[in-house]
C-alpha cells in the first residue's frame, strides 16, 4: 500500500492513467454534439438563413471539465483509495481476550464483539493462537486455539445479566507460559479484578479496552408515603442530565404497555438521582417493571414484586357508633392494622362494589339487601375475599341459622356463647395451635390472646374441613369456604376488643397478612425466604428483556435472600407458596464503582480510527458526473426541449434521484387515486357500479354511453366517457349518478363500502338499482330482487313508493307517463312523498318541493335499451318495428329526465310558482 | 375474400369514423347562434316578406289583387330575397398539414377539416350550396351533401409537401374558403386568387398554424426537414434563427393580408392551440359580409 497523507492506495500504478486526461481534453474538444433531426413545415421560411456564430460546434469548456472530472474520479476509484489505512500492530505469542460480558456490556455489545473479532482476525493473520474468555462464566481452564476456530464463535457470544462474581478465581485457570492479554472491560470494578490483572501482567503485555459511554442503573422501586420512590445511579458522575423511566405492565385487556413515565434528574457531579411517582392504586398494582427509556441493559430494568402491590380493602361496619368512642368502633383495630399497608375504601356497599376492591371486610354486619347480596356474590365468585367478623348483631340475628347463608362459611348456632365472663363458669379460652394445612400454620400464638365470647358453628359434617383456626376446646375461631374463585372467611369474634384480646395482639396483623388481606413488608427478610424453593417465573436477559422462565430450576431461599444474581440464579421474578419476590441486578444499596487500572496498563477506547475504503464513493461521484453530463449534453443540443411534459419529466427524474425509489412507488399509489379523481371530475361522468358479471358490465357501460350520446345531442348536459366504479376501492363522491345493475350472484359489499355508500346517499348522490327482471311475479320474488333486498338492507334508504304521476321525474325535460326500458312491465320506485303533500291551486301536481330521491329502484333493464355499440348503433332490439323504436325513444327520454333530475334537483317542481310569478310580473 | 365483402368492410370502417367527425362538427356548429341569418330584404324567394304600396312603373302582374281589394290602394306583395349562395371549400391536403407540434394538439389538417365541415353544416342549414373545389363534389344543398363532404374530406391527403389552392370548380359570383398553412410558394395562392377574382368569387383565406410554428421554440444543432423530406436546412444554433424566422413569418402574413385585401377577400390566422369556435365564428361572419 502506498500512502499519501491520510490516504492510501491499494493499486497506485493505476494513477498513471491520470496523465491521459489532457489528451482526452483535446479529443473531446474536437467533437461537436450530434445534430437532432426535426420535421418542421416552417423550414420553407428558414431556407437561406445562415448561422451567425460558427464556433458553437465546439464542446464548451465546462462540459469538458465535467467529463475530465468524471474520468479522473473513475481512475482514482480503481486505484483503490483507503482513508486512514490501518498499520498492523506487531505481536507474537498467544493472545488471551477477556470480556467482562456483564449486564453493563449489553448497551454496546455489538461493538465489543466487533472489536474482539477484529483482534481475533488480526491474530489469525499473524498466526497467533487465541483464547476468548467470558468472565461472567464459572471459572474454567483456558486453552489457546487457532484463531479461525474462534472467529466463527464470536458472533454467538452473549453478555450475561449479572456481574462477574469473583475474578480472583480465574487466576488459577490461566494457562502456563507467556501470553499477551486484551481485556474488554465493562467499566465497573468487580471483586478480584486487581489480583487477576496482576496475574495477567505477570504473563505478558496487557491492553485494556474501556468504553467511555456512561452506565445507568435503576434501583428497585420502593413504596414510601403513598408514592413510589425510584432511584437511579450512574457512572461517571458527569454533568447534569435527565433520564426517563417507564413503568410497564399489563393493561386491562392483557396487553403490555407503558403505564406511566417519570423523569429522573441527576445534578452535576451527583451519581444518584431519584423521583417519587404517585399513581392511582389501580395503575400501580398493574406495574410489572420499571425501565430506563432507551437503555438496553438488565441494570436499567427493575422488576417489581408483591411489595409494590397495594390491596384495596373496603371496610363496612354494622353500626355507626357514637362519636368519641373510637376504641369501641368495630373497625378501629382493622383500620389501625391495615392503613399502613393497604388502600382503604369507605362508602356504601353498592358504590364499593363498583370500585372492585380485593377484600371486603364486614364487621358485625348481619343482613344484606338482596341486591347487595347478589352483588357481593358475583364479586366473590370472580376472586374477591369476603372477611366477616362476628358481633352482637350477628349473634342476635338468624342469619345462616337453618340453612347455610351463601355469604357465610358455616351454619351458626343461636345466640353464641360467653365464657369467662362475670356470670359464667369457665375461664376465657386460649387458641389451639394451628393445623399444618391452615394458612396460619407457623405463626406463634402469644399466651395473652384469649377469647371471652364467640359465635358457635353448627356441627355440620364439613365443619372440620372449613375450620382454619380453633380454640383450645376445639370450637372454631376462623372458618373459611370457597365461593367460585373467591372465598368467604368468618372470624367468630368481633373485630374490636369486646369479645377477645386477639385484635390487640400482633397475631391479628399476621393473620390478616396470611389471609392476604394486608400487604407484605417491602423487603423480604432472609427468614421469610428460607426453607422454601423459589421457582423463577420471569427471567431477564442481559439486555433487560423479560421472558418466560419456562422450566428453569428453582432456587433455595437462602441463596435468594443474598440478592446477588449469578450463573445459577438469573435476575427475574421468583414465586414461592403465596408470594413472589423480584431479584434485580441492582440492589437497593448498589453503587457503581469505576474500574481503576494501574498506570502501566494501556487503556484504549472504542473510538479507534477505522479504515475506510473510498472506492465506492469515487465511483459514485464519477457516475453522478456522467449523468449530469448526459443532461448537459442534451440541453446543449436542444434535445432537452420536449415541451412542458418533457420538462416535467426531467424534473421527475431529478426528483426520483433525490428522494429514492421507495417514495416514488408511494407517489405512484396516490397518483392512481389522483388520476381517478381528475378523470371523474374533469367532466360530468355517468358511472355504473361494477358487478361480478363482465358481460353485464359491458352492457351497462354501453347503455350509459348511449344515454350520454342522447344527452349530448339533445341537452346542454355533455357527459364525458362512461366510468366504471368499484364501490370497494373507488371514491364515489365525484359522481352525481350511479347505475347499479343487480345480479343474483352479486357479492355483498364490505362494511367499509356500506359506510361509503351511505355517506354518498346522504350527501346527495343517487343510485339507480336495476333488477332487469321486468318486475315479474310479486314484488321481490325474482332472484335479483331478493339479492337487491339483501344488498340494500344496510343502506340508508327512505320509504319508497311507485313513481306517482305527478313526480318531478315525469317532467324534468320531457313530459312522460310511462317509463319503459327494454322491458315495459316493471314498476319504478322512488322515495315516498310526505303524507301531507298538498295539491297546489291551479297546477296538476302536488307541492313536493324538497327531497331528491336518493335511490330509484327499477326493473325494466334500461341499460339494454340505451346501449349502443362503437358505431353508435343500438346494441339490442327493443320491441318490434316502429312501436319498438318508440319504446326505445321513451326509455331514452326517461333516462334524460333522470339525469336532469339528478343534476337540477327539484328545479322543475318550483314551477308551481310560475302562475304567481307571472301575476307579479304583470303588476 | 370476395370484392363485395372487402368493399363492405371498408365502407363499414369508413362509416365508423364518420359519426365522431360529423358529430364534432355539428356540435361546433350548434353553438353558433344564427342571429342575422336570412337576407332580411326583399328579393327573389318563396317566403312572404311584406306588402308595399304600388309605385308607378310596377307592372299589373306584380299587384296583389287580393290584398288590394281590401282597401282603396294597390299593394305589391314582396318576397324575401333567398338567392342561395354557392360556397366552395378548399382544404389543403398536403403533408405539411399533418404537422403536430405537441401530442395534446390536433394536426393542422384535422383542425382545417373540422372548420370546413362545421362551416358546411352551418351553411347547409342556412340553405346555401356547399361544395369542394375541383370536380369531385360540386356545390349542392341539402343534408345528403354533408355526407358527401365528409367522405371526400376524410380522404387520404396528397404526397406533395406544400399545397397549392385549387381554383377549379368555383361557381361564378359565389364564395370560396381556402384553409391551409400557406407556408409553401405564394405564387399558387396569387394565381388562385386571380382566377377567383376573374370569376367574381370572393371569400376567405384561413391560415391554420401550429403554435410551434408561431413560436419556433427550438435550440441547439438541428437539421430541419419538411414533412415530405424534400426540403432540409441545417443549423448549429437553432435559437439564433428564431428572430429571423419570426420576421419572415410576419412578412408572409402581411403578404397574405395584402393579397386578400386587394382581391376583396378576408384573411384570418388560426392556431391549433386555441379552440375552433372563434375561427368558425369569424369564418361565418366573413362569408356573411358583403365584400
pLDDT, one tens digit per residue, over A46-71 is 887 777 665 545 667 788 888 888 88
Contact assessment for residue A865 and residue A776, using Cβ atoms and an 8 Å cutoff: no
From the CB of residue B154, how many other CB atoms can be counted at a distance below 10 Å? 13
Bridge partners of residue A97, in order along the sequence: A132, A182
Contact assessment for residue B75 and residue B64, using Cβ atoms and an 8 Å cutoff: yes
Percent of chain A at pLDDT above 70?
87
At residue A472, the pLDDT reads 85
Q: Which residues of B touch A645 (CB under 8 A)?
A: 103
pLDDT beyond 60 at A660: no
Would you call B236 and A53 a contact, using CB atoms and an 8 Å cutoff? Answer: yes
Would you call B225 and A53 a contact, using CB atoms and an 8 Å cutoff? Answer: no
pLDDT beyond 90 at B254: yes
CA distance A43 to chain B (A): 6
Q: Which residues of A touch B99 (CB under 8 A)?
A: 39-41
Q: Which of A48-57, A114-123, A143-152, B80-89 has the lowest mean pLDDT?
A: A48-57
Would you call B220 and A45 a contact, using CB atoms and an 8 Å cutoff? Answer: no
Q: How far apart are CA A627 and CA A633, in angstroms?
A: 10
Mean per-residue pLDDT for A611-616? Answer: 78
Minimal Cβ distance to B238: which of A41, A638, A643: A638
Please list, in sequence order, all residues whose beta carbon lies within 8 angstroms of the beta carbon of residue A95, skipping any fewer than 6 positions away. A119, A123, A128, A129, A130, A131, A179, A180, A181, A182
Q: Which residues of B touch A45 (CB under 8 A)?
A: 183, 245, 248-249, 252
Would you call A51 and B227 a contact, using CB atoms and an 8 Å cutoff? Answer: no
At residue A521, the pLDDT reads 52
pLDDT beyond 50 at A693: yes
Q: What share of chain B is helix, strand, coil (3-state, %, to 5)?
A: 45, 20, 40
Would you call B226 and A32 a contact, using CB atoms and an 8 Å cutoff? Answer: no
CA distances from A88 to A122, A123, A387 (A): 8, 10, 77
**Which is it for strands A215-218 and A555-556: parallel, antiparallel or unpaired?**
unpaired
Minimal Cβ distance to B241: which of A41, A46, A641: A46
Residues A535-563: tens digit of each pLDDT: 888 888 888 888 888 778 888 888 888 77
**Which is it for strands B202-209 and B175-180: parallel, antiparallel or unpaired?**
parallel
Q: Which of A128-132, A474-478, A516-520, B12-16 has the lowest mean pLDDT?
A: B12-16
Minimal Cβ distance to A641: which of B162, B219, B221: B219
CA distance A612 to chain B (A): 44
At residue A517, the pLDDT reads 65
Mean per-residue pLDDT for B62-81? Answer: 85
Q: How many CB pairs under 8 A join A and B?
A: 115
Percent of chain A at pLDDT above 90?
6
SS (H, E, C) A436-505: CCCCCCCCCCCCCCEECEECCECCCCCHHHHEEEEECCCCEEEEEEEECCEEEEEECCCCCCCCECHHHC
Say which DSSP state B46 is in.
S
Q: What chain A residue is nearest to B239 in terms of C-alpha separation?
A: A638
pLDDT beyond 60 at A325: no
Residues A560-583: tens digit of each pLDDT: 887 788 887 888 888 876 677 888
CA distance B3 to chain A (A): 23
Mean per-residue pLDDT for B266-280? Answer: 88
Residues A741-800: tens digit of each pLDDT: 988 888 888 888 888 888 888 877 889 999 888 877 555 678 888 888 888 888 878 888
Ramachandran class of A780: left when φ > 0, alpha when ψ lies in -120 to 50, beta otherwise: left
Would you call A637 and B221 a contact, using CB atoms and an 8 Å cutoff? Answer: yes
Minimal Cβ distance to A638: which of B96, B220, B231: B220
Would you call A38 and B183 a contact, using CB atoms and an 8 Å cutoff? Answer: no
Would you call A39 and B225 a contact, using CB atoms and an 8 Å cutoff? Answer: yes
Tell whether B49 lies on the interface with A, counting CB pairs under 8 A.
no
Q: What chain B residue is nearest to A635 in terms of C-alpha separation?
A: B220
Q: How far apart are CA A555 and CA A536, in angstroms?
A: 8
- Phi–psi pair at A360, nearest 5 degrees: -115, 125
Which grid cell sits at A657? 434521484
CA A508 to chain centre: 46
Minimal Cβ distance to B227: which of A37, A41, A641: A41
Minimal Cβ distance to B235: which of A51, A639, A645: A51
pLDDT band at B249, cuts 50/70/90? very high
At residue B150, the pLDDT reads 84
| DSSP character string of A367-413 | ---HHHHHHHHHHHHTT-EEEEE--HHHHHS-TTSSS--TT-SS-B-
**CA proximity to A362, closest of A374, A351, A375, A376:** A376
pLDDT beyond 90 at A528: no
Bridge partners of residue A96, in order along the sequence: A131, A181
pLDDT band at A323, cuts 50/70/90? very low
Tell whether B11 lies on the interface with A, counting CB pairs under 8 A.
no
Would you call B102 and A49 a contact, using CB atoms and an 8 Å cutoff? Answer: no
Q: How far apart are CA A266 and CA A244, in angstroms?
A: 11
Q: How far apart are CA A526 and CA A560, in angstroms?
A: 8
With an 8 Å Cβ cutoff, the interface of chain A facing chain B consists of 32-47, 49, 51-54, 56-57, 636-639, 641, 643, 645, 712, 870-872
Q: What chain B residue is nearest to A41 in terms of C-alpha separation?
A: B226
Q: Which residues of B touch A708 (CB under 8 A)?
A: none
Substitution target from B160, B162, B238 for chain A, most A beta carbons within 10 A: B238
Average pLDDT of every residue of chain A: 81
CA distance A635 to chain B (A): 8
pLDDT beyond 80 at A688: yes
CA distances from A458 to A394, A412, A415, A433, A574 (A): 15, 5, 12, 22, 42
- Phi–psi pair at A189, nearest 5 degrees: -85, 130
Q: Which residues of A touch B231 (CB under 8 A)?
A: 43-44, 47
pLDDT beyond 80 at A124: yes
Mean per-residue pLDDT for A131-154? Answer: 85
Tell whether B232 lies on the interface with A, counting CB pairs under 8 A.
yes
Q: Which residues of A touch B234 (CB under 8 A)?
A: 35
Q: How far apart are CA B203 and CA B201, in angstroms?
A: 7
**CA proximity to A266, closest of A300, A233, A221, A227:** A233
Q: Which of A368-372, A727-731, B79-83 has the lowest mean pLDDT?
A: B79-83
**Helix H or strand E encompassing A721:** none
Minimal Cβ distance to A37: which of B223, B237, B245: B223
pLDDT band at A838, cuts 50/70/90? low
Q: What chain B residue is nearest to A36 in terms of C-alpha separation?
A: B222
pTM of this structure: 0.41
CA distance A51 to chain B (A): 6
Q: Which residues of A touch B217 (CB under 8 A)?
A: 641
Minimal Cβ distance to A36: which of B16, B222, B245: B222
Would you call A637 and B240 a contact, using CB atoms and an 8 Å cutoff? Answer: no
**CA proximity to A112, closest of A103, A123, A99, A124:** A99
Q: Which residues of B touch A51 (CB under 8 A)?
A: 235-237, 240-241
Q: Pick the residue with more confidence: A584 or A838? A: A584
Percent of chain B at pLDDT above 90?
13
pLDDT beyond 70 at A811: yes
Mean per-residue pLDDT for A633-657? Answer: 62
CA distance B248 to chain A (A): 6
Would you call A49 and B234 a contact, using CB atoms and an 8 Å cutoff? Answer: no
At residue A893, the pLDDT reads 93
Which grid cell sits at A734? 365525484
CA distance B242 to chain A (A): 10
Give SS3 for A340: coil
Residues A417-449: tens digit of each pLDDT: 777 666 666 777 888 888 888 888 888 888 888
Mean per-residue pLDDT for A804-820? Answer: 85
Residues A15-40: tens digit of each pLDDT: 888 888 888 777 777 666 677 888 88
Would you call A643 and B216 a contact, using CB atoms and an 8 Å cutoff? Answer: no
Give SS3 for B59: coil
Q: Which residues of A touch B23 (CB under 8 A)?
A: 712
Q: Which residues of A touch B213 (CB under 8 A)?
A: 40-42
Minimal Cβ distance to B236: which of A54, A639, A712: A54
Q: Pick the residue with more confidence: B270 or A172? A: B270
Would you call B240 and A36 a contact, using CB atoms and an 8 Å cutoff? Answer: no
Q: Which residues of B touch A37 (CB under 8 A)?
A: 222-223, 225
pLDDT band at A640, cuts 50/70/90? low
pLDDT beyond 50 at A322: no
Residues A903-920: tens digit of each pLDDT: 887 777 777 677 778 888
Q: How far apart are CA A554 and CA A536, in angstroms?
A: 6
At residue A86, the pLDDT reads 61
Would you call B252 and A35 a contact, using CB atoms and an 8 Å cutoff? Answer: no
- Going edge to edge, which strands form the sheet with B222-225? A36-39, B222-225, B232-235
State the complex-level ipTM: 0.74
CA A354 to chain centre: 30
Instruction: Of A17-31, B32-46, B155-169, B180-194, give the range with the top mean pLDDT.
Output: B180-194
**Which is it for strands A311-317 and A359-363: parallel, antiparallel or unpaired?**
parallel
pLDDT beyond 70 at A218: yes
Amino acid at each position: 500500500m502506498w500512502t499519501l497523507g491520510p490516504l492510501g492506495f491499494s493499486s497506485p500504478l493505476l494513477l498513471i492513467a491520470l496523465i491521459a486526461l489532457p489528451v482526452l481534453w483535446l479529443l473531446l474538444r474536437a467533437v461537436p454534439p450530434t445534430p437532432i433531426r426535426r420535421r418542421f413545415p416552417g423550414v420553407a421560411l428558414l431556407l437561406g438563413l445562415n448561422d451567425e456564430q460558427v464556433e458553437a460546434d465546439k464542446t464548451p469548456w465546462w462540459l469538458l471539465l465535467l467529463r475530465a472530472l468524471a474520468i479522473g474520479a473513475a481512475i482514482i476509484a480503481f486505484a483503490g483509495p483507503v482513508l486512514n489505512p490501518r498499520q498492523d500492530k506487531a505481536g507474537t505469542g498467544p493472545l488471551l481476550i477477556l470480556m467482562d460480558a456483564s449486564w453493563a456490556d449489553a448497551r454496546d455489545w455489538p461493538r465489543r464483539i466487533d472489536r474482539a473479532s477484529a483482534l481475533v482476525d488480526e491474530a489469525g493473520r499473524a498466526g497467533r493462537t487465541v483464547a476468548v474468555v467470558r468472565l461472567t462464566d464459572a471459572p474454567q481452564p483456558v486453552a489457546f486455539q487457532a484463531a479461525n476456530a474462534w472467529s466463527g464463535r464470536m458472533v454467538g457470544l452473549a453478555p450475561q445479566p449479572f456481574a462477574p462474581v469473583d475474578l480472583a478465581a480465574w487466576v488459577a485457570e490461566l494457562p502456563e507460559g507467556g501470553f499477551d492479554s486484551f481485556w474488554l472491560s465493562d467499566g465497573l470494578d468487580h471483586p478480584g479484578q486487581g489480583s487477576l490483572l496482576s496475574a495477567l501482567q505477570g504473563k505478558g503485555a496487557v491492553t485494556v479496552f474501556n468504553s467511555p459511554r456512561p452506565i445507568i442503573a435503576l434501583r428497585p422501586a420502593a413504596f414510601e408515603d403513598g408514592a413510589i420512590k425510584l432511584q437511579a445511579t450512574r457512572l461517571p458522575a458527569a454533568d447534569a442530565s435527565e433520564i426517563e423511566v417507564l413503568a410497564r405492565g399489563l393493561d386491562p385487556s392483557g396487553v403490555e404497555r407503558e403505564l406511566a413515565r417519570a423523569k429522573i434528574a441527576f445534578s452535576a457531579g451527583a451519581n444518584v438521582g431519584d423521583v417519587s411517582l404517585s399513581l392511582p392504586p389501580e395503575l400501580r398494582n398493574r406495574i410489572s417493571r420499571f425501565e430506563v427509556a432507551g437503555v438496553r441493559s438488565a441494570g436499567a430494568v427493575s422488576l417489581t414484586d408483591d411489595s409494590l402491590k397495594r390491596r384495596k380493602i373496603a371496610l363496612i361496619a354494622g353500626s355507626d357508633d357514637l362519636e368519641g368512642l373510637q376504641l369501641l368502633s368495630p373497625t378501629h383495630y382493622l383500620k389501625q392494622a391495615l392503613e399502613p399497608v393497604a388502600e382503604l375504601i369507605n362508602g356504601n356497599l353498592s358504590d364499593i362494589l363498583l370500585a372492585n376492591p380485593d377484600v371486603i371486610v364486614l364487621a358485625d354486619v348481619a343482613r344484606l339487601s338482596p341486591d347487595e347480596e347478589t352483588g357481593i356474590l358475583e364479586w366473590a365468585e370472580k376472586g374477591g375475599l369476603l372477611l366477616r367478623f362476628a358481633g352482637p348483631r350477628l349473634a342476635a340475628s338468624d342469619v345462616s341459622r337453618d340453612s347455610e347463608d351463601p355469604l357465610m362459611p358455616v351454619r351458626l348456632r343461636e345466640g353464641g356463647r360467653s365464657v369467662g365472663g362475670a356470670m359464667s363458669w369457665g375461664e376465657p379460652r386460649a387458641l389451639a395451635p394451628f393445623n399444618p394445612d391452615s394458612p396460619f400454620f407457623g405463626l406463634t400464638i402469644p399466651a395473652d390472646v384469649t377469647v371471652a365470647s364467640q359465635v358457635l358453628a353448627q356441627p355440620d359434617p364439613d365443619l372440620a374441613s372449613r375450620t382454619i383456626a380453633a380454640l383450645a376446646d376445639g370450637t372454631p375461631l376462623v372458618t373459611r369456604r370457597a365461593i367460585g374463585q373467591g372465598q368467604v372467611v368468618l372470624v367468630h369474634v368481633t373485630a374490636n376488643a369486646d369479645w377477645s384480646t386477639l385484635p390487640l395482639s400482633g397475631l391479628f396483623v399476621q393473620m390478616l397478612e396470611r389471609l392476604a388481606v394486608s400487604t407484605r413488608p417491602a423487603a423480604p427478610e432472609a427468614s421469610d425466604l428460607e426453607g422454601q424453593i423459589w421457582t423463577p417465573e420471569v427471567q431477564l436477559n442481559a439486555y433487560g428483556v423479560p421472558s418466560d422462565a419456562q422450566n428453569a430450576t428453582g432456587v433455595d431461599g437462602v441463596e435468594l435472600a443474598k440478592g446477588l444474581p449469578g450463573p445459577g440464579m438469573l435476575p427475574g421474578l421468583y414465586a414461592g407458596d403465596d408470594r413472589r419476590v423480584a431479584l434485580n441486578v441492582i440492589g437497593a444499596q448498589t453503587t457503581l464503582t469505576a474500574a481503576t487500572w494501574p498506570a502501566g496498563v494501556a487503556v484504549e477506547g472504542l473510538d479507534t480510527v477505522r479504515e475506510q475504503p473510498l472506492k465506492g464513493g469515487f465511483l459514485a461521484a464519477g457516475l453522478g458526473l456522467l449523468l449530469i453530463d448526459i443532461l448537459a449534453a442534451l440541453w446543449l443540443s436542444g434535445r432537452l426541449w420536449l415541451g412542458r411534459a418533457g420538462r416535467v419529466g426531467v424534473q421527475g427524474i431529478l426528483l426520483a434521484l433525490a428522494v429514492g425509489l421507495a417514495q416514488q412507488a408511494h407517489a405512484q399509489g396516490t397518483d392512481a387515486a389522483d388520476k381517478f379523481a381528475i378523470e371523474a371530475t374533469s367532466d360530468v361522468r355517468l358511472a355504473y357500479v361494477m358487478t361480478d358479471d363482465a358481460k353485464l358490465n359491458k352492457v351497462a357501460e354501453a347503455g350509459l354511453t348511449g344515454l350520454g350520446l342522447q344527452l349530448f345531442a339533445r341537452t346542454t348536459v355533455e357527459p364525458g366517457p362512461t366510468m366504471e366504479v368499484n364501490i370497494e376501492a373507488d371514491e364515489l363522491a365525484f359522481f352525481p349518478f350511479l347505475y347499479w345493475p343487480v345480479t343474483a350472484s352479486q357479492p355483498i359489499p364490505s362494511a367499509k363500502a356500506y359506510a361509503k355508500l351511505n355517506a354518498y346517499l346522504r350527501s346527495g348522490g343517487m343510485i339507480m338499482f336495476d333488477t332487469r327482471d321486468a318486475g315479474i311475479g310479486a314484488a321481490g320474488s325474482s332472484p335479483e330482487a331478493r339479492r337487491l333486498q339483501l344488498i340494500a338492507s344496510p343502506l340508508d334508504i327512505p320509504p319508497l313508493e311507485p313513481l306517482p304521476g305527478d313526480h318531478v321525474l315525469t317532467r324534468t325535460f320531457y313530459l312522460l307517463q310511462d317509463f319503459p326500458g327494454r322491458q315495459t312491465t316493471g314498476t319504478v320506485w322512488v322515495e315516498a312523498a310526505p303524507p301531507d303533500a298538498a295539491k297546489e291551486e291551479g297546477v296538476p301536481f302536488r307541492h313536493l318541493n324538497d327531497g331528491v330521491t336518493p335511490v330509484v329502484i327499477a326493473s325494466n333493464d334500461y341499460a339494454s335499451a340505451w346501449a349502443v355499440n362503437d358505431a353508435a348503433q343500438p346494441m339490442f332490439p327493443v320491441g318490434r318495428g316502429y312501436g319498438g323504436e318508440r319504446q326505445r325513444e321513451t326509455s331514452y327520454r326517461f333516462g334524460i329526465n333522470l339525469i336532469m333530475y339528478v343534476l337540477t334537483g327539484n328545479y322543475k317542481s318550483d314551477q308551481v310558482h310560475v302562475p304567481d310569478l307571472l301575476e307579479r310580473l304583470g303588476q | 375474400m370476395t370484392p363485395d365483402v372487402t368493399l363492405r368492410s371498408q365502407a363499414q370502417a369508413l362509416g365508423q369514423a364518420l359519426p365522431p367527425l360529423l358529430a364534432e362538427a355539428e356540435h361546433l356548429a350548434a353553438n353558433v347562434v344564427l342571429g342575422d341569418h336570412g337576407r332580411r330584404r326583399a328579393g327573389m324567394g318563396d317566403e312572404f316578406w311584406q306588402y308595399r304600396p304600388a309605385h308607378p312603373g310596377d307592372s299589373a302582374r306584380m299587384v296583389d289583387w287580393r290584398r288590394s281589394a281590401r282597401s282603396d290602394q294597390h299593394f305589391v306583395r314582396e318576397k324575401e330575397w333567398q338567392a342561395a349562395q354557392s360556397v366552395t371549400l378548399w382544404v389543403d391536403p398536403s403533408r405539411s398539414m399533418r404537422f403536430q407540434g405537441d401530442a395534446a394538439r390536433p394536426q393542422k389538417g384535422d383542425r382545417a377539416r373540422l372548420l370546413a365541415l362545421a362551416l358546411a353544416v352551418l351553411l347547409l342549414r342556412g340553405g346555401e350550396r356547399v361544395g369542394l373545389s375541383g370536380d369531385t363534389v360540386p356545390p349542392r344543398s341539402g343534408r345528403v351533401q354533408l355526407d358527401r363532404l365528409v367522405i371526400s374530406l376524410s380522404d387520404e391527403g396528397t404526397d406533395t409537401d406544400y399545397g397549392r389552392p385549387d381554383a377549379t370548380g368555383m361557381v361564378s359570383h359565389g364564395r370560396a374558403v381556402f384553409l391551409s398553412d400557406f407556408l409553401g410558394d405564394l405564387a399558387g395562392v396569387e394565381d388562385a386568387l386571380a382566377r377567383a377574382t376573374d370569376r367574381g368569387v370572393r371569400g376567405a383565406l384561413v391560415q391554420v398554424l401550429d403554435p410551434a410554428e408561431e413560436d419556433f421554440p427550438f435550440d441547439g444543432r438541428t437539421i430541419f426537414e419538411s414533412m415530405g423530406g424534400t426540403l432540409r436546412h441545417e443549423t448549429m444554433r437553432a435559437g439564433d434563427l428564431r428572430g429571423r424566422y419570426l420576421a419572415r413569418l410576419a412578412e408572409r402574413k402581411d403578404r397574405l393580408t395584402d393579397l386578400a385585401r386587394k382581391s376583396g377577400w378576408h384573411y384570418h390566422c388560426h392556431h391549433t392551440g386555441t379552440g375552433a369556435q372563434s375561427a368558425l365564428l369569424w369564418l361565418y361572419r366573413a362569408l356573411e359580409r358583403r365584400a
